[in-house]
C-alpha cells in the first residue's frame, strides 16, 4: 500500500518521519515524503495523482497545522484517501479531529501504531479502532487508548534516505541530526513533556535509550553515505541515560566517529566528570536552558526547580572544558510586568557569558501547564490563534502596546546585547524604537552567524549558502 508522509517546510530535519518510514517499509508499504514549501501546494495534486496513496500522514507542530489542513481539504476534493494528522498539535489539541477532511489523528507515539493502522486499512479491517488513534467513521467518533511506549532498541534503523530524496534535499548540509533516546523526567510548565508523561503513566518507562552501538552505527552510515561535519543530538536531555551509557557512547564515538557534536543539557545534569568525558569524545557545544533570570517566576510559574547559582555553576564547568554554550531563554512571560523580568533574564545571561544567547517569545502551547496558567490569569484569549513561529510576536495580552513592543524588540536584540554588554544601558531606548522589522533581520543574521561560525566553524557553509539564504528569507517574511 502507498503511504505519503507530509510535513511543513522547516530549517531542521524531521527525524520522526524517518522512524515512521522505516517502520512502514518494514511492514511492506511503499512510502514517499513531500515537504510543503519546497514542494508548493499547487504541485501536490499531480504528486498525489501519480503516487496514489491510500493514506496521507501529516505531521505538524502547532502553527504548522493551518497550512497542512488547508492542503488536505484541497486534496480531499479530488482524491480518495484517508487523512491522518500526527505530531504535537494532534496530540495536544485533539479537537482538531473535527476539522473538515481529517479521518483520524494519532495522539501519541506512532512508531508501532501507524503501521498497524495502515495494515488494517489495507486488509479492510477496523482501522478506526487502532490504539493511540482517534478517528471518525460512519458518523461516529472513536477515541482509542494509548499503546505502551515503544522500546527504542527494537525499532528499525531510521530511514534517512527519505529525507534526502524529497526537496529540499538535505544531503549537502554539514549538520546531521540524531536521536539517542526519548523522554524527559522534568515538568517545566512551558513544555509538552509534563502532559505527555502524565498521559502515558503506567504505559512504560518515560526515559528510553537506544544502545550506544546503534547510535554510533547510524552516524557512521550517514557519514559514509552523505557526509557529516557536525553531529546534532536532539534528545531532550542527552546526559539522562542509564548507568554507564555515556561512558560506553564516548568510547565508541571517539573510536568510530571522531566528529564534533552538540546536545541538549540541563544545568542540574552537568557534572565535571561527565562533561570531561564528553569533551574528550568531541562535544563542541551544548544548548542549555536558562529561560528566566527571576528565580521566583522560574520556579513557581515555569516550574524549573533550579537556582541561578546552579545555572551559573553549570556554565562554568562547561566553559572550563572549552565547551561552548548556547543558552535558551523565554521572553514575554504571563506575569503582570514582564519586561523587567525579561531584563533580569538578560542580566543573568550577561553574567553567564555564553557563546550565544538564544531567545524565544513564550508560546503557551496547547496542553502545557503554562497554557492553563495564562488563560486563568487573563493573558490568553480563548480563541487565540497560533502562528507558525515563536520568533516574531507574542500571543499574550499585555497591559499596553508599549510593553508588547519592548518584549518583541528585546527578543530580537537579546543575543546581541549579551554578546556586546556595553549596549545594556541603552536597551530600553532601543526597545522603544519602532524598528521591529529591522531587528528581526538582525536576529536571524546573528543566529546564523553564531550557529555556523561561533559555535562551530563550518567548512561547508559556502555549499550550504543557497539553502541557508532560502531559510533566512522564509523566516524573515513568515507571518
Q: How many CB atoms lie within 10 A of CB 85?
A: 28
Cβ–Cβ under 8 Å, residues 391 and 361:
yes
Residue partners of 100: CB distance under 8 A and separation at least 6: 73, 76
Domain 2-143 has CATH 3.40.50.280: yes
Burial of 203 (0-12, 13-18, 19+ CB in 10 A): middle
**Which pLDDT does position 452 carry in this prediction?**
79
DSSP 50: H
**Which pLDDT does position 12 carry in this prediction?**
73
**Which pLDDT does position 457 carry in this prediction?**
73
**Which pLDDT does position 167 carry in this prediction?**
74
In DSSP notation, 165-200 reads: HSSSPGGG-SEEEE-SEE------TTSTHHHHHHHT
**Which pLDDT does position 132 carry in this prediction?**
98
**Which pLDDT does position 387 carry in this prediction?**
75
DSSP 301: T
**Which pLDDT does position 472 carry in this prediction?**
64
**Which pLDDT does position 353 carry in this prediction?**
98
DSSP 324: E
* Bridge partners, 233 (sequence order): 178
* Bridge partners, 106 (sequence order): 133
Distance of alpha carbon 92 from alpha carbon 114, whole angstroms: 18
Cβ–Cβ under 8 Å, residues 323 and 284:
yes
* Bridge partners, 356 (sequence order): 326
- Which residues make up the CATH 3.40.50.280 domain(s) of the chain? 2-143
**Residue 283 host element (H or E):** strand 283-291
Cβ–Cβ under 8 Å, residues 411 and 332:
yes
Q: How many residues does the chain have?
A: 479
Distance of alpha carbon 13 from alpha carbon 402, whole angstroms: 37
- Which residues make up the CATH 3.80.30.20 domain(s) of the chain? 169-477
For each successive 10 residues of the chain (479 residues), what is the average pLDDT? 93 88 97 93 97 97 94 97 97 96 98 98 98 97 98 94 80 87 96 94 96 97 91 96 96 97 96 96 97 97 97 98 97 97 98 97 94 95 77 88 96 97 98 94 89 77 66 62
The CATH architecture assigned to 169-477 reads Alpha-Beta Horseshoe (3.80)
Residue partners of 429: CB distance under 8 A and separation at least 6: none
Amino acid at each position: 500500500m502507498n503511504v505519503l508522509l507530509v510535513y511543513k517546510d522547516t530549517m531542521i530535519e524531521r527525524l520522526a518521519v524517518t522512524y515512521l518510514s522505516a517502520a512502514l517499509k518494514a511492514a511492506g508499504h511503499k512510502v514517499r515524503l513531500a515537504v510543503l514549501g519546497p514542494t508548493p501546494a499547487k504541485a501536490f495534486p499531480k504528486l498525489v495523482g501519480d503516487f496514489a496513496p491510500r493514506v496521507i500522514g501529516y505531521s505538524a507542530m502547532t502553527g504548522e497545522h493551518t497550512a497542512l489542513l488547508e492542503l488536505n481539504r484541497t486534496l480531499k476534493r479530488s482524491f480518495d484517501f484517508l487523512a491522518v494528522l500526527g505530531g504535537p498539535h494532534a496530540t495536544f489539541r485533539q479537537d482538531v479531529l473535527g476539522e473538515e477532511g481529517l479521518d483520524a489523528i494519532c495522539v501519541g507515539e506512532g512508531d508501532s501504531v501507524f503501521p498497524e493502522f495502515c495494515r488494517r486499512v489495507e486488509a479492510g479491517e477496523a482501522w478506526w479502532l487502532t490504539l493511540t488513534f482517534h478517528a471518525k467513521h460512519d458518523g461516529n467518533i472513536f477515541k482509542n487508548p494509548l499503546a505502551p511506549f515503544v522500546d527504542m532498541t527494537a525499532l528499525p534503523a531510521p530511514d534517512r534516505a527519505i529525507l534526502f530524496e524529497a526537496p529540499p534535499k538535505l544531503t549537502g548540509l554539514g549538520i546531521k541530526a540524531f536521536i539517542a533516546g526519548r523522554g524527559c523526567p522534568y515538568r517545566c510548565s512551558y513544555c509538552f513533556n509534563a502532559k505527555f508523561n502524565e498521559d502515558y503513566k503506567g504505559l512504560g518507562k518515560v526515559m528510553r535509550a537506544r544502545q550506544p552501538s546503534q547510535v554510533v552505527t547510524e552516524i557512521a552510515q550517514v557519514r559514509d553515505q552523505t557526509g557529516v561535519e557536525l553531529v546534532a543530538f536532539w534528545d531532550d536531555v542527552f546526559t539522562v541515560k542509564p548507568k554507564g551509557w555515556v561512558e560506553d557512547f564516548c568510547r565508541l564515538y571517539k573510536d568510530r566517529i571522531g566528529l564534533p557534536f552538540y546536545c541538549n543539557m540541563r544545568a542540574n545534569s552537568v557534572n565535571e566528570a561527565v562533561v570531561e568525558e564528553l569533551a574528550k569524545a568531541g562535544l563542541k557545544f551544548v544548548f542549555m536552558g536558562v529561560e528566566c533570570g527571576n528565580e521566583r517566576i522560574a520556579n513557581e510559574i515555569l516550574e524549573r526547580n533550579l537556582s541561578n547559582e546552579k545555572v551559573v555553576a553549570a556554565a562554568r564547568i562547561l566553559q572550563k572544558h572549552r565547551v561552548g554554550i548556547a543558552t535558551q531563554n523565554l521572553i514575554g512571560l504571563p506575569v503582570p510586568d514582564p519586561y523587567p523580568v525579561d531584563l533580569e533574564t538578560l542580566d543573568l545571561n550577561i553574567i553567564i557569558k555564553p557563546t550565544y544567547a538564544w531567545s524565544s517569545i513564550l508560546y503557551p502551547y496547547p496542553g502545557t501547564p503554562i497554557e492553563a496558567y495564562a488563560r486563568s490569569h487573563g493573558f490568553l484569549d480563548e480563541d487565540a490563534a497560533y502562528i507558525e513561529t515563536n520568533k516574531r510576536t507574542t500571543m499574550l495580552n499585555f497591559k499596553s502596546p508599549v510593553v508588547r513592543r519592548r518584549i518583541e524588540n528585546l527578543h530580537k536584540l537579546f543575543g546581541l546585547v549579551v554578546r556586546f554588554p556595553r549596549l545594556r544601558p541603552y536597551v530600553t531606548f532601543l526597545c522603544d524604537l519602532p524598528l521591529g522589522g529591522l531587528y528581526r533581520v538582525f536576529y536571524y543574521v546573528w543566529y546564523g552567524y553564531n550557529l555556523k561560525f561561533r559555535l562551530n566553524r563550518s567548512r561547508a557553509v559556502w555549499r550550504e549558502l543557497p539553502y541557508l539564504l532560502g531559510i533566512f528569507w522564509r523566516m524573515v517574511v513568515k507571518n
